Amino acid sequence: MKTAHDLVLAAKTQCREVSIEDAQAALLSADVIIDVREADEYASGHIAGAINLPRGLLEFKLSGNPALEPRDLNVVLYCKTSGRAALAAASMQSMGYLNVVSIAGGMDAWLAASKPVVKPAPTQFE
């Protein structure tokens, strides 16, 4: 019986990861940056320009958004540590997406490298 870890390892053999050192160049050339973490994780801080499509909804959100349907989009994915992003990349490749990369080490590696994050402004109620 396979474990989640087994599935992630298999996905990582099918997808391309970029190092933190090469992530900035990948982000600059991306048509879309997708944070596949959950909404609360995204709200706690994310990479500038990233949209939030949680891993559990990814395929449905991609299929339901005409702007995300072109299979030749340059896509950069990330999550907390890179496991969900690898699974997402493998899934997108099986859907026919041609240019998908994930950030090795995910948001944890991004933060450890002191890279900038965006946090939404708190909602003000008066």
Q: Over its length of 126 residues, how does the chain's per-residue pLDDT go in tens digits?
A: 989 989 888 898 988 999 999 999 999 999 999 999 999 999 999 999 999 999 999 999 999 899 999 999 999 999 999 999 999 999 999 999 999 999 999 999 999 999 999 987 776 777
What's the pTM value of the predicted model, to 2 decimals?
0.91
The pLDDT, as a whole number, for residue 120 is: 76
Domains of the chain in start order, with CATH, are: 4-112 (3.40.250.10)
Amino acid at residue number 37: R
Helix residue spans in the chain (DSSP H): 4-14, 20-29, 39-43, 58-63, 83-94, 106-112
Residue 34 has, within 13 A of its CA and on its CB side, a CA count of 27
